[in-house]
Amino acid sequence: MSNVLVLVDHTGGTVRKTTAELLTIARRLGEPVAVYIGEGVQDALPALGQYGATKVIALTDPELTQYLVAPKAEALQQVAAKLEPAAILISSSAEGKEIAARLAVKLDSGLITDAVDVQEGPVTTQSVFAGNYTVQAKVTHGTPIITVKPNAATPEAAETSPEVEEFDVTISDAAKTARITDSKPREATGRPELTEAAIIVSGGRGTGGDFGPVEAFADSLGAAVGASRAAVDSGWYPHAYQVGQTGKTVSPQLYVAAGISGAIQHRAGMQTSKTIVAINKDEEAPIFELVDFGVVGDLHKVLPTATEEVTKR
């Protein structure tokens, strides 16, 4: 069976859920080989083995993480030249997409970004034009390089005991042009990562700038907090939490939209959520066309009552 490379998305050895999703998808296409860049590969091994990685290629040269993405693309090019994979899967993060684009140029290969599903072939599914069209595509030239959106697959365990193979790479001077001088993790909120959360509670202009009730309800459910662009543009919540066409795409089990009208650009980022609940004081709000459950009411009254009910249980 052919190898399928999966670039591991991790923070210091803690593997992100998106990698479990990529490994699950890779098993449909061939033998998943995890490519791990940076320190902490031993910490990552159990998670990579749990989702079926047959081998882990470890790239530990510090230069790979001291510069912005160019060295990583060069390194993947060298791994691909040796392993001749049937496909390369990368998470659809900003960094992942830049690595994928550079790699596609280096390998003279076709690239598909933001796949929401990948099946044998590999044939990908993408949701385009703000979610109005679904497109199926296949790379016809070179090694298919595919970036996959978070939540495109449900991680399915398949225990393996992958061995680690150290891989030496040569980084060109041309790739060492943008050095990282400082790197601080975002302040921890204690809430799940937005794109990985099973439950999201989002607030919009209807919050009037007070995200307290949204955060309290989110915390009662162990949920992540999201925001509409109107809330972000008003400076009420950071852009990192924006859901929509120009924000994050999410697909949780439960999405609660509070004080959000349901503009097409917001829907583009959340309409594949499994269950959608809206709280809006306007019963004509377009978000109600999309919901499984709707509450017509003032979020400042509905959310605290809901929080109290959940906390009681």
Q: Which residues bind ligand FAD (CB under 6 A)?
A: 204-206, 228-231, 242-247, 259-261, 263, 265-266, 269, 279-282, 285, 298-300
**Residue 243 marked as a ligand binder:** yes
CB 223 within 8 A of CB 197: yes
Strand partners, 179: 67
Query: Is position 300 annotated in a ligand binding site?
Result: no
User: Is 239 in contact with 232 (CB distance < 8 Å)?
Assistant: yes
∠ at Cα 152 (99, 59), nearest 5°?
Answer: 35
Residue 217 CA to residue 299 CA, distance in Å, equals: 11
Q: Specify the residue, 66 or 265, whose C-beta has the smaller distance to ligand FAD.
A: 265
Q: Is 266 annotated as a binding residue?
A: yes
Q: Is 246 annotated as a binding residue?
A: yes
Query: How many angstroms separate the CA atoms of 106 and 283, rounded?
Result: 53
Q: Select 46 or 209, whichever has its Cβ closest to ligand FAD.
A: 209
Tell me if 265 is assigned to a ligand binding site: yes
**Tokens for 94?**
């900003």
Q: Which is nearer to ligand FAD, 166 or 233 (CB)?
A: 233
Cβ at position 205, least distance to ligand FAD in Å: 3
Pick the closer one to ligand FAD by CB: 66 or 245: 245
Provide, rounded to whole angstroms, the least separation between the CB of residue 248 and ligand FAD: 8
Is 280 labelled as part of a ligand binding site? Answer: yes
Closest CA to 202 of 232, 175, 225, 223: 225
The nearer residue to ligand FAD, 209 or 222, going by C-beta atoms, is: 209
Q: Provide, rounded to whole angstroms, the least separation between the CB of residue 225 and ligand FAD.
A: 14
Nearer to ligand FAD, 49 or 206 (CB): 206
Annotation-wise, does 121 bind a ligand?
A: no
Shortest Å, Cβ 256 to ligand FAD = 12
- Three-state SS for 32? strand
205 is in an annotated binding site: yes
CA-to-CA distance for 172 and 267, rounded, in angstroms?
43
Alpha carbon separation from 70 to 56, 67, 92, 145, 247 (Å, rounded): 21, 7, 17, 16, 24
Nearest distance from C-beta of residue 297 to ligand FAD, angstroms: 7
CB 16 within 8 A of CB 6: no
Kindly state the smallest distance separating residue 301's Cβ from ligand FAD, in Å: 8
Closest CA relative to residue 55, chosen from 16, 82, 73: 82
In angstroms, rounded to a whole number, what is the distance separating the alpha carbons of residues 4 and 26?
A: 6
Binding residues: 205, 228-229, 242-246, 259-266, 280
Binding residues for FAD: 205, 228-229, 242-246, 259-266, 280
